[in-house]
Amino acid sequence: MQPVLSVAWSAATPDGIRHSVVEQKEKPKAGKETQGIKGMSRHSAAHYFLEGLVDLGVEYIFANLGTDHVSLIEEIARWDREGRKHPEVILCPHEIVAVHMAGGYALATGKGQAVFVHVDAGTANACMAIQNLFRYRLPVMLFAGRAPYTLHGELTGSRDTYVHFVQDPFDIASIVRPYVKWEYSLPSGIVVKEALARAGAFMHSDPPGPVYMMLPRETLAEEWDAAQMPTYNPARYGGVAVGGIDQARVDAIATRLMAAENPIALTAYLGRNADAVSALERLALACGIRIAEFNSIDLNVSQDSPCFAGFDPLPLLEQADVGLLLDTDVPFVPQYAKRVEAIDWIQIDIDPLKSDFPMWGFPTDIRVQADCATVLEQVLKVVEARADDLYRKRVADRIAGWSGSRDAAARRRAAASANKGLPGALSAAYLFATLNAVLSQDDIVVNEAIRNAPLVQEHIRRTRPRSYVGLAGGGLGFSGGMALGLKLAQPERRIVQIIGDGGFHFSSPDSVFAVAQQYQIPILTVVLDNGGWQAVKSSVQRVYPKGIAAETNSFQSQLRSGRQGEQRNFSDIGRAFGAHAEFVGEPDELAAAVDRCLAAVDGGVAAVLHVQITPL
């Protein structure tokens, strides 16, 4: 039953003013099923909220809960008692892990999940992770409770503790507004299912991304008749997806590619769709296109493909006449690319305008918002229809001419990986080559090695779609939660997280391994300990190569003092939560330690491998 309020005027008090008195005649309890008009069942808005998540196909709630979630907790308990299925709750001690877990699950499945955080405090903690998922273009529904708006017990859920006063900012949504596609504060339980349908449509529409909804405590406690809560079928209220393009533009792209002498393709996240990887590889073979991945987020082309040209686009720009920009945010750094204007650029992207980048700065001659897999198949069909024996021979000769550079790259990799390094300073290339020797192509590598990230890509060879994940956003600490979410979605696959020591600090590792233990989600974490932030040092060196910082080796990037007795035992953080822990400072001990870690993971236990690499 809805609360019934009455207002009466009291007698004048000593101050000479008559004061109104608000009396609550009835105040229904959240979560209690009651009978409404004509015997119809009534439930709290929290109950209908859970139903709305089920309607959307949400399977998990990644949660860091607080005083604002009482009605949801009550409803989940009631559903459990009644044997009613609801999204499984994964409790995360830190919000950064909750959001990145949802991101990893969405990356593996394409399905956006729910994340519950606590008012403004939880929203602030989640913000950096939301920024990452926004740049990844991954769907997630971030729900933050709101401090109660009633102060005197007028409604169920009114303020009843100190924090309700200090956790009520004027504009809580401003914390994440730059990084969400849609935001809403639920005004009444009567629209909860419709609001959820709207949120789901936004998060899954191309380009997908996070959405944010605020849930006042009193609103979740409201009670409504079941008949007042229609279902909003996602098939009728769902998202919008991009597809292919008109034949005229398909023909124009095919004509330019077939006329090119040195066509190239640059890509970063095309591989989100495995069909796009296949389409790109076949089009590259049909047209003689060299493919480079720069700051790649997904695996976009098999490294075994003769068209794969590595991770540095700049050498390709020196001779290119036609370039494809395929699902990439930053194809190269403009200040280092001097022939950009001499190249005809064709951009095919789910987000070609980069409307959330204030400045972008890359010219395009044909710009298409579309699904790369579909458009590349359309273009390939035209190329195959037009190609004659002479054209096919020209393309085959071009591809054969690349073998020398591929062989040279293989020799450089072999030489780098043969150098084991020194005690306390293992070679990163040797470490990654050792991992490469024992990982399968079904294993997923999550790369947060930052300055060593290119070495990870070079020495841990990936050939299958969805076997590699890189950093998309600007916030470090993503890989732990992301690895957990990937493993949750694909329990049959190994997940290997490779992270620098600086990033490890940001990742809330205690929360990562607490979740891994509680929910039995075994991942392998490899911590690269070079003693600090190499990215900070390198950035100073690029801008001030002969500056005082370089002269005195004072880069403010060391995270250790060098004092006798100082300890850096990253693996102990995992051990504190039941993970298998290894430390390696001697090159010859590495292979056996890796084998023990993988055995632990295969046995259902998370593992942490702390390796001392060449110091910065």
Letter string b/e over residues 529-552, b meaning 16 or more CB atoms within 10 A of that residue's CB: bbbbbbbbbeebeeeeeeeebeee
**CB contact at 8 A, 463 and 442:** no
**pLDDT tens, position by position, 548-571:** 999 998 899 888 888 888 889 999
- Identify the band that residue 28 occupies on the pLDDT scale cut at 50, 70 and 90: very low
Backbone phi and psi for residue 479, each to the nearest 5 degrees, phi listed first: -70, -30
Q: Which residues contact 404 (CB under 8 A, 6 or more apart)?
A: none
Cα–Cα distance between 513 and 36 in angstroms, integer? 47
* Lookup: tokens for 477: 């600490």
Q: Which position has the higher pLDDT, 559 or 592?
A: 592
Cα–Cα distance between 432 and 280 in angstroms, integer? 27
**pLDDT tens, position by position, 427-483:** 999 999 999 999 999 999 999 999 999 999 999 999 999 999 999 998 999 999 999
Cα–Cα distance between 17 and 212 in angstroms, integer? 44
Q: How many CB atoms lie within 10 A of CB 188?
A: 12
Cα–Cα distance between 162 and 149 in angstroms, integer? 13
Q: How far is CA 350 from CA 137, 497, 575, in A?
A: 10, 28, 42
- Indicate the range of 160-169, 312-321, 379-388 predicted with least confidence: 160-169
Please give the single-letter amino acid code of residue 572. Answer: D
CA 150 centroid distance within chain: 37
Cα–Cα distance between 339 and 317 in angstroms, integer? 7
What's the residue count for the chain? 616
Cα–Cα distance between 416 and 439 in angstroms, integer? 19
Q: How far is CA 176 from CA 179, 365, 457, 471, in A?
A: 6, 34, 32, 19
* Nearest alpha-carbon partner for 506 in 551, 570, 554: 570
* Lookup: tokens for 7: 């207002």
**What is the predicted pLDDT for the residue at 130?**
98
What average pLDDT does the structure give for the chain? 93
Cα–Cα distance between 239 and 114 in angstroms, integer? 17
Cα–Cα distance between 141 and 210 in angstroms, integer? 6
**pLDDT tens, position by position, 76-103:** 999 999 999 999 999 999 999 999 999 9
Mean pLDDT of 259-263: 98
Ordered domains of the chain (ranges, CATH): 4-237 (3.40.50.970), 247-401 (3.40.50.1220), 415-531+568-612 (3.40.50.970)
**CB contact at 8 A, 117 and 143:** yes
* Lookup: tokens for 435: 């991992």
Mean pLDDT of 165-184: 95
Can you spell out the DSSP letters for 196-217? HHHHHHHHHSSSP-EEEEEEEH
**CB contact at 8 A, 207 and 351:** yes
Please give the single-letter amino acid code of residue 354. Answer: K
Query: Would the pLDDT of 199 be above 90?
Result: yes
**What is the predicted pLDDT for the residue at 29?**
47
Q: Which residues contact 463 (CB under 8 A, 6 or more apart)?
A: 299, 302, 303, 304, 441
Please give the single-letter amino acid code of residue 330. Answer: V
* Lookup: tokens for 498: 């490779």
**CB contact at 8 A, 506 and 475:** yes
**What is the predicted pLDDT for the residue at 36?**
53
* Nearest alpha-carbon partner for 180 in 133, 146, 215, 214: 133
